[in-house]
Amino acid sequence: HLIVWSVTQVRGICVCGSEGIATSSRDRTVRLWSLDDSRKFVSSKILLGHTSFVGPLAWIPPNSEFPHGGVVSGGMDTLVCVWDLKTGEKVHTLKGHQLQVTGIAFDDGDVVSSSVDW
């Protein structure tokens, strides 16, 4: 299936296993899109907590802490946020960058982030 996102505000996207697709935006949100009964993607959750543009995203596969998986997001606000996909709640806020977060990866329980700071 080819899905084309034509929203100019979307800054990041990641596939979240069977839970759907997550997108990040200049409107400071992370949105989860799930398939409805007619097999169309619809917005199912809006994750709020960043104070500026949100960019990179990474999926956390289901595990003991996140039975439905999670998402990690990075923003212009220098924050890295960890979200529970079942509840839509922000469960961790990681601080340490001085400037915007430009990349996020999740590997074997570790969150790795990059930034334009020195």
> Alpha-carbon distance 62 to 110, whole Å?
14
What local confidence, expressed as pLDDT, does residue 40 receive? Answer: 86
Tens-digit pLDDT profile for residues 13-37: 999 998 899 999 999 999 999 988 8
What local confidence, expressed as pLDDT, does residue 78 receive? Answer: 96
* Helix, strand, or coil (residue 19): helix
| pLDDT per residue rounded down to tens, the chain (118 residues) | 545 555 558 899 999 998 899 999 999 999 999 988 888 888 899 999 999 999 999 999 999 999 999 999 999 999 999 999 999 999 999 999 999 999 999 998 899 999 998 7
Tens-digit pLDDT profile for residues 4-15: 555 558 899 999
What local confidence, expressed as pLDDT, does residue 82 receive? Answer: 98
> Alpha-carbon distance 63 to 77, whole Å?
28
What local confidence, expressed as pLDDT, does residue 93 receive? Answer: 97
What local confidence, expressed as pLDDT, does residue 110 receive? Answer: 93
Q: Which residues contact 98 (CB under 8 A, 6 or more apart)?
A: 78, 115, 117, 118
